Amino acid sequence: MATQNRIRAAAKRALYRADFKGFAAEQLWIKRREGGPLTTLQLDTAQLLLDAKIEADFARRGYCRIVTLKGRQSGWSTYAQGRLFHAAALRDNYDTLLIALDEHNTTNIFSMAHLFYEKMDADVKPMVRFSSKRELLFANPDRRLALENPGLNSRMSFQSSSNVLAGTGVTRQALHASEIAKWLESSVRDLMTSLMPAIHPVPGTMVIMESTAFSGGDYFRAMCEKAREGDGEYVWCFVPWWLNCQNTMPLLKGEKITLTSEEKSIIKFAAKGQPRDDVPPFDITIEQIKWARTKAGELDDEGEFEQEYPRSFGSAWLSRDFHVFDFDRLRVMEKELRAPLRLVEVTGGLNMKPAVLTIEKGGRLEDDRDYIAIFDEPRDGVKYDMGVDVAAGIEGGDWSVAEVIRRDTGEQVAEYHKHVDPVDLTDELYWLGKFYNTAHMIIEVNTYGLATSNHMSRLTYPNIYIWRRWDNVVPKLSNLTGFRTTWE
């Protein structure tokens, strides 16, 4: 009888290893949003989309690497931790690592994993040697019997993003990085450098990077953009707020809701789907609109709602924090974004005829690389303005950037984005300005731009901005080119 029970338990574990959704529905117990009795993890629409991406990646390569942009309370942290627990609690010698935002979140996610373990059926529950706030070790608690029956010898480790050496010196089979956009930008690169060598691209391994959007989370945003373009190892996954089945509020008896024009626009947008992000068409309900209104009302403004519960990848990053430009106008402009006509290089020099922008390169904009992008060719008789922000030209530092604007329409027609010495920058800007009908060039001269501006004057560029003294009753031209950004 005991032998039969062991055989049945082994078969059950084998079935669970091949079926995460079945394991979650029967073994992973979680707390409900509303409190009350525990329930098992039944994947909702949003989680199923994420699960499908992960399963497809495993089927294609044998391992999984995924980057996910989520909304608040999406259940993706629960899903990701469930995935890691599923692997560690059913496989031999499988080590997982969670990196959460801070100590509070680390403790919460550990508590989730501990609950998973406590509620497992006895016939599939692995032996555990110890359980702390930092680690679960699935091994025989009796060290004297460990040689004969060691247990799984798998472990789950839990760390905060404040530990920049969390991955150093240890090989892991799975990593769950949570709320990366909110990790300190000053340490996120060091932390990733520590983590990624610990996970080898071999069958069975898994990396799940997930976060809501956050102002200043440039590292995670760049990671998302790269995955979204299909560049590199990571698969991309995004789910808008309406695919989370819990984002709904029932109407009260007799309650009626009159849709605003913005709400009608959202309903039409959802009904079309978002093919680029593999988001299916969806019919938003009135109950979901009520939920969205209520949530937006709890926040300071609509920009915060879009960040916490995005409708699209782009809208997640249009935060109103420290904003200068009108947020609603930015949302309208976002719909007009397009790829450049071409990426080019300036060739020749001042001793050559102005054969400029002659090397055409294919490709797309990447904000971590040098480029000159042409969005619209210069047009006869049209006037252009070029604003220039100069950096030191140090690799890994800020970029020198120039924007070329069509004066009569305000349309951006070109962008210069390079790491380049401030003096060397001058030659390329000279010809870019010439290319756009000798654009009116406006160079900020607070620091490094002074060298660029002085050199541009020596090259006798004929249409350069001259500083106006605004502290006089009537603004007057000075003898300085460029402008200084000051509080005055």
CATH of the domain at 397: 3.30.420.240
Is residue 81 within 8 A of residue 278, CB to CB? The reply is no
Whole-angstrom CA distances from 31 to 75, 183, 234 are 11, 26, 31
In a domain, 374, yes or no: yes
What domain range includes position 13? 2-239
CATH number at residue 105: 3.40.50.300
Q: Give the amino acid at 206.
A: M
Number of domains in the chain: 2
Token output for 432: 């870019």
Q: Which residues pair with 342 in a beta bridge?
A: 374
Q: Which of 358, 363, 360, 371 is nearest to 435 (CA)?
A: 358
pLDDT on residue 217: 81
Q: Cα–Cα distance between 120 and 130 in angstroms, integer?
A: 16
Residue 311 lies in a domain: no
In this structure, the answer to whether residues 30 and 169 fall within a common structural domain is: yes
pLDDT at 465: 87
Residue 403 identity: E
Domain boundary among 239, 255, 278: 239
Say if CB 430 and CB 351 are below 8 A apart.
Answer: no
Is 221 in the same domain as 365? no
Would 58 be classed as within a structural domain? yes
For tokens 């390329």, the residue is: 428
Domain annotation covers residue 409: yes
**Residue 443: is it exposed, middle or buried by C-beta count within 10 angstroms (0-12/13-18/19+)?**
buried
- What pLDDT was estimated at residue 357? 60
pLDDT the model gives residue 450: 85
Same domain, 22 and 164: yes
85 & 209 share domain: yes
User: 211, 239, 267: which is the final residue of a domain?
Assistant: 239
State the chain's maximal CA–CA distance in angstroms.
100
Beta bridge partners, 130, equal 137
Tell me if 296 is assigned to some domain. Answer: no
- Last residue of some domain: 239, 259, 274? 239
Whether this model's pTM surpasses 0.85 = no
Contact 249, 34 (CB under 8 A): no
Question: If you ran DSSP here, which 8-state letter would residue 121 be given?
Answer: -
* Residues lower than pLDDT 50 in the chain: 352-355
Q: Is 255 part of a structural domain of the chain?
A: no
* Residue 261 belongs to some domain of the structure: no
Strand partners, 334: none
- Both 230 and 346 in one domain: the answer is no
pLDDT in tens, 171-217: 899 999 999 999 987 788 888 888 888 899 999 999 999 999 887 78
- Residue 291 located in a structural domain: no
Same domain, yes or no: 55 and 185: yes
